[in-house]
Amino acid sequence: MNRAEERLFGRSIAEYPPAPSAHTASPQPALAAAFFAAPAQDAILDIDMATDGSSQSGVGAYAIVCEIPEVTISAADDAEDQAAFRMELLAVCEALVALATTDTPSRTLRLLIDCDAVGKAIRRPATCKLRTLTESARRQAGHVARGRGTSWRIIWVPSRGKQREWAPEAPLTSDFCRRLSQSADDAANQLRRRRLAGSEKATWADALQPLRRPGEQFPPSALPTLPVFAGKQFACRLLE
């Protein structure tokens, strides 16, 4: 008999595994080349791009998508925090750093996000728990970009068809913003699924699922083995 399980009213589980290795270098060189250098050669001065983050079972990914020029970049890291919020924040930060370091910055950059908290974190870095990341994006990359003559904005777009009455300021349209945002969502989800498949995180999550179902942790047959001080009435609550 496992005395720890008996006294803590729970099953033993394996140690929480780390995120799978990202196997990807920083996307900044590709971002600078694809989103800023190439458009500059074609005299494209105004750029609209969408970002999104995705996470499942402790495995995340993010994507940055643009229609003109037509570019999609998805990436991830193997940090402990793989939450969707951090993933999209990473995407915005990577885009701003690329904008600040490219030799051919655009005249205007509009970043479409579907997580309002990311926009608030960039606007007020001191209020975010990932302060180092947000300050790097706004006070270093963002200020440098504006000092070089680029006007950049972060625009929130409702996700997955929510708030149908929402409309952005001209020259953007609702259909365009939602389409671009959905493309970023699809790209981030695709990479996240590839990273999760067959990973230790997926195996750990699968093993945990049966323990989360009502009645699985302590079936009625196990009631007699519970410590007598718990009382049958309290033990029955564990089955609800």
Residue ranges and CATH numbers for the domains of the chain are 28-157+173-200 (3.30.420.10), 210-240 (no CATH)
Q: What is the pLDDT of residue 20?
A: 92
Dihedral angle sign, alpha carbons of residues 18, 30, 190, 50: positive
Helix (H, G, I), strand (E, B) or coil at 27: coil
pTM: 0.81
Q: What is the pLDDT of residue 214?
A: 55
Helix or strand holding residue 111 (H, E): strand 108-113
b/e code 96-118 from CB counts within 10 Å (16+ = b): bbbbbbbeebbeebbbbbbbeeb
Q: What is the pLDDT along the chain (240 residues), one digit of tens a residue?
A: 677 777 777 777 788 899 998 876 677 777 777 777 777 777 788 899 999 999 999 999 999 999 988 889 999 999 999 999 999 999 999 888 888 888 877 788 999 999 999 999 998 888 888 988 888 888 778 888 888 888 899 999 998 778 889 999 999 999 999 999 999 999 999 999 999 999 999 999 888 877 666 555 545 554 454 444 444 444 444 444
